[in-house]
Protein backbone atom coordinates (compact mmCIF):
# COMPACT_ATOMS: atom_id res chain seq x y z
CA UNK A 1 0.00 0.00 0.00
CA UNK A 2 1.26 3.49 -0.84
CA UNK A 3 1.80 5.89 2.00
CA UNK A 4 -0.30 9.01 1.80
CA UNK A 5 1.45 12.38 1.54
CA UNK A 6 -0.04 13.29 4.91
CA UNK A 7 1.64 10.42 6.78
CA UNK A 8 5.04 11.59 5.50
CA UNK A 9 4.63 15.17 6.72
CA UNK A 10 6.16 14.63 10.20
CA UNK A 11 9.38 13.27 8.65
CA UNK A 12 9.56 16.17 6.24
CA UNK A 13 9.04 18.67 9.07
CA UNK A 14 11.69 16.98 11.16
CA UNK A 15 14.18 17.17 8.29
CA UNK A 16 13.38 20.83 7.79
CA UNK A 17 13.91 21.53 11.48
CA UNK A 18 17.28 19.73 11.46
CA UNK A 19 18.35 21.67 8.36
CA UNK A 20 17.42 24.98 9.98
CA UNK A 21 19.20 24.04 13.19
CA UNK A 22 22.38 23.05 11.35
CA UNK A 23 22.38 26.15 9.18
CA UNK A 24 21.98 28.36 12.24
CA UNK A 25 25.33 27.04 13.51
CA UNK A 26 26.78 28.96 10.62
CA UNK A 27 25.99 32.29 12.26
CA UNK A 28 28.73 31.74 14.81
CA UNK A 29 31.25 32.24 12.02
CA UNK A 30 30.37 35.93 12.16
CA UNK A 31 31.38 36.23 15.80
CA UNK A 32 34.38 33.94 15.68
CA UNK A 33 37.76 35.59 15.17
CA UNK A 34 38.82 32.48 13.20
CA UNK A 35 36.60 33.53 10.35
CA UNK A 36 37.21 34.05 6.68
CA UNK A 37 33.87 35.76 6.07
CA UNK A 38 35.00 39.11 7.43
CA UNK A 39 38.24 39.62 5.52
CA UNK A 40 40.66 42.29 6.77
CA UNK A 41 43.08 42.44 3.86
CA UNK A 42 42.90 42.71 0.08
CA UNK A 43 44.04 39.10 -0.15
CA UNK A 44 41.25 38.00 2.17
CA UNK A 45 38.72 40.07 0.25
CA UNK A 46 39.42 38.70 -3.22
CA UNK A 47 39.36 35.10 -2.00
CA UNK A 48 36.16 35.77 -0.07
CA UNK A 49 34.58 37.42 -3.13
CA UNK A 50 35.36 34.44 -5.34
CA UNK A 51 33.97 32.15 -2.66
CA UNK A 52 30.72 34.15 -2.57
CA UNK A 53 30.49 34.32 -6.34
CA UNK A 54 30.89 30.55 -6.65
CA UNK A 55 28.39 30.01 -3.83
CA UNK A 56 25.70 32.12 -5.55
CA UNK A 57 26.30 30.54 -8.94
CA UNK A 58 26.23 27.02 -7.59
CA UNK A 59 23.17 27.88 -5.51
CA UNK A 60 21.42 28.97 -8.74
CA UNK A 61 22.45 25.78 -10.50
CA UNK A 62 21.42 23.72 -7.49
CA UNK A 63 17.98 25.31 -7.43
CA UNK A 64 17.54 24.78 -11.19
CA UNK A 65 18.58 21.11 -10.95
CA UNK A 66 16.40 20.45 -7.89
CA UNK A 67 13.43 22.15 -9.57
CA UNK A 68 13.91 20.01 -12.69
CA UNK A 69 14.22 16.89 -10.58
CA UNK A 70 11.08 17.67 -8.59
CA UNK A 71 9.20 18.48 -11.76
CA UNK A 72 10.22 15.14 -13.32
CA UNK A 73 9.31 13.26 -10.15
CA UNK A 74 5.93 14.89 -10.03
CA UNK A 75 5.16 14.85 -13.76
CA UNK A 76 6.16 11.24 -14.34
CA UNK A 77 5.13 9.73 -11.01
CA UNK A 78 3.53 6.32 -11.10
CA UNK A 79 -0.19 6.43 -11.59
CA UNK A 80 -2.58 3.55 -12.11
CA UNK A 81 -2.87 2.88 -15.81
CA UNK A 82 -0.35 5.54 -16.90
CA UNK A 83 2.12 4.34 -19.60
CA UNK A 84 5.92 4.34 -19.15
CA UNK A 85 7.26 7.77 -20.24
CA UNK A 86 9.29 8.14 -23.42
CA UNK A 87 12.81 6.70 -22.91
CA UNK A 88 15.82 8.88 -23.92
CA UNK A 89 18.68 6.48 -23.15
CA UNK A 90 21.27 6.61 -25.97
CA UNK A 91 19.95 9.90 -27.39
CA UNK A 92 23.23 11.19 -28.86
CA UNK A 93 22.26 14.82 -29.41
CA UNK A 94 20.94 15.10 -25.85
CA UNK A 95 24.04 13.49 -24.34
CA UNK A 96 26.51 15.54 -26.37
CA UNK A 97 24.71 18.78 -25.59
CA UNK A 98 24.52 18.29 -21.86
CA UNK A 99 28.19 17.35 -21.76
CA UNK A 100 29.13 20.52 -23.67
CA UNK A 101 26.84 22.80 -21.67
CA UNK A 102 28.28 21.64 -18.35
CA UNK A 103 31.86 21.81 -19.62
CA UNK A 104 31.13 25.41 -20.64
CA UNK A 105 29.71 26.20 -17.21
CA UNK A 106 32.89 24.85 -15.59
CA UNK A 107 34.97 26.90 -18.00
CA UNK A 108 33.06 30.05 -17.04
CA UNK A 109 33.68 29.23 -13.37
CA UNK A 110 37.40 28.80 -14.08
CA UNK A 111 37.88 32.32 -15.45
CA UNK A 112 37.49 34.35 -12.22
CA UNK A 113 39.05 31.51 -10.18
CA UNK A 114 42.25 31.48 -12.22
CA UNK A 115 42.39 35.28 -12.14
CA UNK A 116 42.29 35.17 -8.32
CA UNK A 117 44.91 32.41 -8.17
CA UNK A 118 47.29 34.58 -10.19
CA UNK A 119 46.50 37.65 -8.09
CA UNK A 120 47.25 35.84 -4.85
CA UNK A 121 50.59 34.62 -6.23
CA UNK A 122 51.81 38.05 -7.33
CA UNK A 123 55.43 38.92 -6.58
CA UNK A 124 55.66 41.58 -3.86
CA UNK A 125 56.83 45.13 -4.60
CA UNK A 126 60.38 45.94 -3.56
CA UNK A 127 59.00 48.27 -0.89
CA UNK A 128 57.18 45.43 0.93
CA UNK A 129 58.13 44.69 4.52
CA UNK A 130 59.95 41.35 4.53
CA UNK A 131 59.16 38.77 7.20
CA UNK A 132 60.71 35.32 7.35
CA UNK A 133 58.32 32.89 8.97
CA UNK A 134 59.71 29.71 10.49
CA UNK A 135 57.09 27.05 11.14
CA UNK A 136 58.56 24.80 13.87
CA UNK A 137 57.14 22.00 15.93
CA UNK A 138 55.04 23.68 17.61
CA UNK A 139 55.68 27.37 17.48
CA UNK A 140 56.31 30.17 14.98
CA UNK A 141 59.44 32.20 14.51
CA UNK A 142 59.14 35.66 12.92
CA UNK A 143 62.29 37.34 11.62
CA UNK A 144 62.35 40.81 10.07
CA UNK A 145 65.64 40.63 8.12
CA UNK A 146 65.69 44.33 7.19
CA UNK A 147 64.82 45.52 10.69
CA UNK A 148 67.07 43.01 12.50
CA UNK A 149 64.23 41.91 14.75
CA UNK A 150 63.46 38.32 15.76
CA UNK A 151 60.41 37.29 17.71
CA UNK A 152 58.06 34.35 18.12
CA UNK A 153 54.35 33.56 18.10
CA UNK A 154 53.29 37.22 18.06
CA UNK A 155 53.61 38.80 14.66
CA UNK A 156 53.54 42.60 14.68
CA UNK A 157 52.68 44.41 11.46
CA UNK A 158 51.86 47.96 10.37
CA UNK A 159 48.37 48.55 8.90
CA UNK A 160 48.18 49.34 5.21
CA UNK A 161 51.70 48.07 4.48
CA UNK A 162 52.29 45.21 2.04
CA UNK A 163 54.13 42.39 3.77
CA UNK A 164 56.10 39.74 1.89
CA UNK A 165 56.32 36.53 3.89
CA UNK A 166 58.93 33.90 3.15
CA UNK A 167 57.81 30.65 4.68
CA UNK A 168 60.38 28.09 5.87
CA UNK A 169 60.06 24.88 7.86
CA UNK A 170 63.14 23.27 9.37
CA UNK A 171 61.26 20.14 10.48
CA UNK A 172 57.92 19.00 8.98
CA UNK A 173 55.15 20.53 6.88
CA UNK A 174 53.08 23.24 8.55
CA UNK A 175 50.60 25.72 7.15
CA UNK A 176 50.55 29.43 7.87
CA UNK A 177 47.00 30.69 8.26
CA UNK A 178 45.45 33.86 9.64
CA UNK A 179 41.80 33.44 8.63
CA UNK A 180 40.86 37.11 8.62
CA UNK A 181 43.95 38.23 6.74
CA UNK A 182 43.61 35.53 4.12
CA UNK A 183 46.01 32.95 2.87
CA UNK A 184 46.68 29.56 4.34
CA UNK A 185 49.84 28.53 2.63
CA UNK A 186 51.89 25.44 3.32
CA UNK A 187 55.26 25.80 4.99
CA UNK A 188 57.35 23.00 3.53
CA UNK A 189 60.84 21.76 4.48
CA UNK A 190 63.44 22.27 1.75
CA UNK A 191 61.65 25.05 -0.08
CA UNK A 192 60.55 28.64 0.46
CA UNK A 193 56.89 29.38 -0.10
CA UNK A 194 55.71 32.95 -0.29
CA UNK A 195 52.63 34.89 0.54
CA UNK A 196 52.05 38.60 0.18
CA UNK A 197 49.29 40.54 1.87
CA UNK A 198 48.54 43.92 3.41
CA UNK A 199 46.43 44.11 6.57
CA UNK A 200 43.78 46.85 6.36
CA UNK A 201 43.44 48.12 9.87
CA UNK A 202 44.89 47.83 13.38
CA UNK A 203 43.60 44.93 15.44
CA UNK A 204 44.47 41.44 16.63
CA UNK A 205 43.97 38.52 14.34
CA UNK A 206 44.45 34.95 15.54
CA UNK A 207 46.37 32.48 13.40
CA UNK A 208 46.83 28.73 13.53
CA UNK A 209 48.94 26.04 11.93
CA UNK A 210 46.59 24.44 9.42
CA UNK A 211 48.52 21.32 8.44
CA UNK A 212 48.74 18.43 10.87
CA UNK A 213 52.33 18.42 12.12
CA UNK A 214 52.42 16.20 15.18
CA UNK A 215 51.31 15.99 18.75
CA UNK A 216 50.84 19.67 19.58
CA UNK A 217 49.63 20.76 16.15
CA UNK A 218 46.45 22.12 17.71
CA UNK A 219 48.60 24.17 20.11
CA UNK A 220 50.61 25.77 17.33
CA UNK A 221 48.86 29.10 17.28
CA UNK A 222 49.99 32.67 16.79
CA UNK A 223 48.56 36.15 16.85
CA UNK A 224 48.97 38.90 14.32
CA UNK A 225 48.97 42.28 16.01
CA UNK A 226 48.40 45.02 13.46
CA UNK A 227 49.42 48.50 14.60
CA UNK A 228 49.20 51.98 13.18
CA UNK A 229 52.44 52.91 11.39
CA UNK A 230 53.62 55.02 14.37
CA UNK A 231 52.93 52.27 16.93
CA UNK A 232 54.66 49.71 14.76
CA UNK A 233 57.78 51.89 14.63
CA UNK A 234 57.72 52.16 18.41
CA UNK A 235 57.47 48.40 18.70
CA UNK A 236 60.38 47.92 16.28
CA UNK A 237 62.54 50.42 18.18
CA UNK A 238 61.85 48.59 21.47
CA UNK A 239 62.67 45.20 19.91
CA UNK A 240 65.90 46.49 18.39
CA UNK A 241 67.16 47.72 21.75
CA UNK A 242 69.23 45.52 24.06
CA UNK A 243 67.38 43.57 26.75
CA UNK A 244 66.95 45.54 29.97
CA UNK A 245 69.19 44.59 32.85
CA UNK A 246 67.06 43.30 35.71
CA UNK A 247 67.13 45.37 38.93
CA UNK A 248 64.87 43.19 41.05
CA UNK A 249 66.95 40.67 43.10
CA UNK A 250 64.73 37.69 42.19
CA UNK A 251 65.08 38.53 38.48
CA UNK A 252 68.85 38.92 38.93
CA UNK A 253 68.99 35.43 40.45
CA UNK A 254 66.96 34.26 37.42
CA UNK A 255 69.41 35.83 34.98
CA UNK A 256 72.29 34.14 36.71
CA UNK A 257 70.47 30.81 36.65
CA UNK A 258 69.57 31.22 32.97
CA UNK A 259 73.17 31.94 31.95
CA UNK A 260 74.44 28.90 33.84
CA UNK A 261 71.76 26.45 32.60
CA UNK A 262 71.00 24.48 29.46
CA UNK A 263 68.54 27.26 28.52
CA UNK A 264 71.39 29.05 26.71
CA UNK A 265 71.82 26.10 24.33
CA UNK A 266 68.34 26.55 22.87
CA UNK A 267 67.33 30.17 23.43
CA UNK A 268 68.78 33.46 22.32
CA UNK A 269 68.80 36.43 24.66
CA UNK A 270 70.90 39.17 23.05
CA UNK A 271 74.16 39.60 24.93
CA UNK A 272 73.63 36.41 26.97
CA UNK A 273 73.10 33.42 24.70
CA UNK A 274 72.67 32.38 21.09
CA UNK A 275 70.66 29.12 20.98
CA UNK A 276 68.25 28.74 18.08
CA UNK A 277 66.27 25.58 18.82
CA UNK A 278 63.65 27.48 20.80
CA UNK A 279 62.03 30.92 20.56
CA UNK A 280 64.15 34.05 20.87
CA UNK A 281 63.58 35.43 24.37
CA UNK A 282 65.40 38.79 24.09
CA UNK A 283 62.16 40.73 24.66
CA UNK A 284 60.04 37.89 25.97
CA UNK A 285 58.47 40.12 28.67
CA UNK A 286 56.77 42.15 25.93
CA UNK A 287 54.84 39.10 24.73
CA UNK A 288 51.33 38.57 26.03
CA UNK A 289 51.28 34.83 25.54
CA UNK A 290 53.49 31.83 26.10
CA UNK A 291 53.92 28.49 24.34
CA UNK A 292 52.54 29.59 20.93
CA UNK A 293 49.49 31.34 22.33
CA UNK A 294 48.68 28.53 24.68
CA UNK A 295 48.70 30.50 27.93
CA UNK A 296 48.66 34.08 29.16
CA UNK A 297 52.20 35.21 29.91
CA UNK A 298 51.82 35.57 33.69
CA UNK A 299 54.48 34.84 36.37
CA UNK A 300 52.48 31.79 37.55
CA UNK A 301 52.02 30.24 34.09
CA UNK A 302 55.61 30.94 33.16
CA UNK A 303 57.01 29.36 36.33
CA UNK A 304 54.84 26.27 35.73
CA UNK A 305 56.03 26.14 32.12
CA UNK A 306 59.70 26.28 33.12
CA UNK A 307 59.19 23.61 35.79
CA UNK A 308 57.51 21.16 33.44
CA UNK A 309 56.75 22.35 29.90
CA UNK A 310 55.51 18.90 28.83
CA UNK A 311 52.78 19.19 31.42
CA UNK A 312 51.47 22.35 29.80
CA UNK A 313 51.97 21.37 26.16
CA UNK A 314 51.96 17.71 25.07
CA UNK A 315 55.03 16.63 23.11
CA UNK A 316 56.80 19.95 23.61
CA UNK A 317 60.44 19.99 22.46
CA UNK A 318 61.62 21.85 25.54
CA UNK A 319 62.71 19.32 28.16
CA UNK A 320 62.05 19.33 31.88
CA UNK A 321 65.34 20.81 33.09
CA UNK A 322 64.85 19.93 36.73
CA UNK A 323 64.11 23.51 37.80
CA UNK A 324 62.30 23.27 41.11
CA UNK A 325 61.30 25.35 44.13
CA UNK A 326 62.40 28.98 43.78
CA UNK A 327 64.25 28.39 40.51
CA UNK A 328 61.29 28.55 38.08
CA UNK A 329 60.01 31.64 39.90
CA UNK A 330 63.37 33.39 39.59
CA UNK A 331 63.63 32.49 35.90
CA UNK A 332 60.08 33.70 35.33
CA UNK A 333 60.81 37.00 37.07
CA UNK A 334 63.90 37.45 34.88
CA UNK A 335 62.21 36.55 31.59
CA UNK A 336 59.21 38.77 32.30
CA UNK A 337 61.54 41.69 33.04
CA UNK A 338 62.81 41.47 29.44
CA UNK A 339 60.40 44.01 27.99
Q: What are phi and psi of 114, to 5 degrees?
A: -65, -35
Stretch that binds Cu ion, among 115-123, 163-171, 213-221, 280-288 (CB under 5 A): 213-221
Among 156, 267, 283, 329, the residue binding ligand HEC under the rule CB under 6 A is 267
Applying the rule CB under 5 A, the residues between 122 and 181 that interact with Cu ion are: 174
- Gyration radius from the chain CA atoms: 28
Q: CA–CA separation, 203 vs 106, rounded Å?
A: 38
| Burial (0-12, 13-18, 19+ Cβ within 10 Å), 254 | buried
Q: Residue 321, interface with ligand HEC (CB under 6 A)?
A: yes
**Between 216 and 337, CB nearer to Cu ion:** 216
Q: What are phi and psi of 47, to 5 degrees?
A: -70, -35
**Between 120 and 151, CB nearer to ligand HEC:** 151
Q: Which residues contact 135 (CB under 8 A, 6 or more apart)?
A: 167, 168, 169, 174, 175, 176, 187, 209, 213, 220
Among 138, 144, 177, 235, the residue binding ligand HEC under the rule CB under 6 A is 138
Stretch that binds ligand HEC, among 7-15, 30-38, 196-204, 319-327 (CB under 6 A): 319-327
**Between 161 and 286, CB nearer to ligand HEC:** 286
**Residue 217 partner contact from Cu ion, ligand HEC, none using kind-dependent CB cut-offs of 5 to 8 Å:** Cu ion
Q: CA–CA separation, 250 vs 259, rounded Å?
A: 14
**96 three-state secondary structure:** helix
What 8-state DSSP symbol labels residue 198? -
Q: Residue 322, interface with ligand HEC (CB under 6 A)?
A: no
CA-based nearest residue to 134, from 174, 179, 177, 161: 174
Q: Residue 336, interface with ligand HEC (CB under 6 A)?
A: no
Report how many residues bind Cu ion under the rule CB under 5 A.
5
Among 32, 166, 252, 261, the residue binding ligand HEC under the rule CB under 6 A is 261
Residues that bind ligand HEC (CB under 6 A): 138-139, 152-153, 258, 261-263, 265-267, 277-279, 281, 284, 287, 290-292, 306, 313, 316-319, 321, 323, 331, 335
Amino acid sequence: MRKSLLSRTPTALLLLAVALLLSSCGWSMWDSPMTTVRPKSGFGRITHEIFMLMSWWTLGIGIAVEAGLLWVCFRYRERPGAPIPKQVHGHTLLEVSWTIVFALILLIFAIPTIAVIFKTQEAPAATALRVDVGGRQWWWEFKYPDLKVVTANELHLPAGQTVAFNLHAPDVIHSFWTPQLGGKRDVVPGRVNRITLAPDEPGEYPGQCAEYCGMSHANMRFRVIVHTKADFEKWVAAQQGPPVQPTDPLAQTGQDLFSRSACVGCHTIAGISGGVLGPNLTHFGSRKTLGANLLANTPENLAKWIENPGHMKPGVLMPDLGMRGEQPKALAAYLLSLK
